[in-house]
Amino acid sequence: MLQKSETQHPEVVSLVTGQFQVTTGYASWREQGTRDWLLIATLGGSGRFGHAGGEFLTQPGDLTLLRPGTRHDYGANDTWELLWTHFHPHPDWSPWLNWPETAPGLMRLTLTEPLIRQKILARFRDAHHLATGALRHRESFALNALEEVFLWADTQNPLSESARMDFRVRSVMDHLVRRPADPASLGELGRLTGLSPSRLSHLFRAQVGLTPQQFHEGQRLRRAAQLLALTARPIAVIAAEVGYENPFYFTLRFKKHSGLSPRDYRKKHGGS
């Protein structure tokens, strides 16, 4: 068997990124891997990843992640468009880097939800553009974008707790968090998800532990608490801003939720 030639690799201080379009004949081989992590997104075509037990082929929408010290044996299966980064993660990223393993240290996620896939690839491209741009703190900006890549990827990771939540429940939660002041009827939320109101209510409560209305009110009152502590806006204005037309009713609900009236909460938490 011919000895494979070791692919050169520069020392990575924080991260290095790139975007290639390559054809059959392109290959990388590093017997001992590298001291950094490697993330590769297949944008088009197909890549080949070898391991001790064989190999697998990637398709558009696949993310492949290699741990430090994992052998690198990959290349183009045909025309292959890939976005890649060698990086050193922040310590608090560890829970997001445990993906399903095809072989020890060689992990893969397939992004099946179009919206999530779009978000991940957009932020990955941002990380590349920032890392290769002219900003003074370009590597820090790029790592922030890469962190978001892994946060979104965690929602698609079958080994993570967040991925076990039905994507329709997550979409309702996102909707309610972004619009705390808007009315949120089960009928409207059902149309958003394609579920009947009763099915949505059952599914949401089973996975979140609250009804959609209870979750929505919690978000309203959480936002109100922030405004009370951080701004000098009148309480009636804050009540209206988070969707309560009646300031008296807002005061009752806020006190039940926090144990303090809005006025007392503001005094305790340093609001003006």
The CATH number of whichever domain residue 124 belongs to comes to 2.60.120.280
pLDDT band at 187, cuts 50/70/90? confident
The values of phi and psi at residue 89, to 5°, are: -75, 155
pLDDT tens across 50-69, in order? 999 999 999 999 999 999 99
Query: H or E segment at 103?
Result: strand 101-103
**162 assigned to some structural domain:** no
**Residue 14 scores a pLDDT above 50:** yes
Degrees to nearest 5, angle at CA 43 with 171 and 122: 45
Q: Give the end of a domain, one of 125, 154, 183.
A: 154
45: part of which helix (H) or strand (E)? strand 37-51
Residue-wise pLDDT tens digits, 205-248: 888 888 888 889 988 888 898 889 888 899 999 999 999 999 99
Per the DSSP assignment, residues forming a β-bridge with 82 are 20, 42
Whether residue 270 has pLDDT greater than 70: no
**CA pair distance 142, 70, nearest whole angstrom:** 24
Query: Is residue 55 a part of any domain in this protein?
Result: yes
Asked if residue 1 belongs to a domain, the reply is no
174 shares its domain with 140: no
pTM: 0.65
Same domain, 148 and 182: no
Name the residue among 73, 76, 23 with its Cα closest to residue 50: 73
* 84 shares a domain with 19: yes
3 assigned to some structural domain: no
Show Cβ contacts of residue 66 under 8 Å, excluding neighbours closer than 6 positions. 33, 37, 38, 39, 72, 105, 106, 107
- Residue 123 and residue 55 in one domain: yes
CATH number of the domain to which 253 belongs = 1.10.10.60
In a domain, 9, yes or no: no
Instruction: Determine the Cα–Cα distance for residues 46 and 104; give it in Å rounded to an integer.
Output: 22
Residue whose structure tokens are 């993660």: 89
Instruction: Give the range of the structural domain holding residue 225, as residue numbers without chain letter.
Output: 167-268
48: which strand partners? 57, 75
Cα gap 271→3, rounded to integer Å: 69
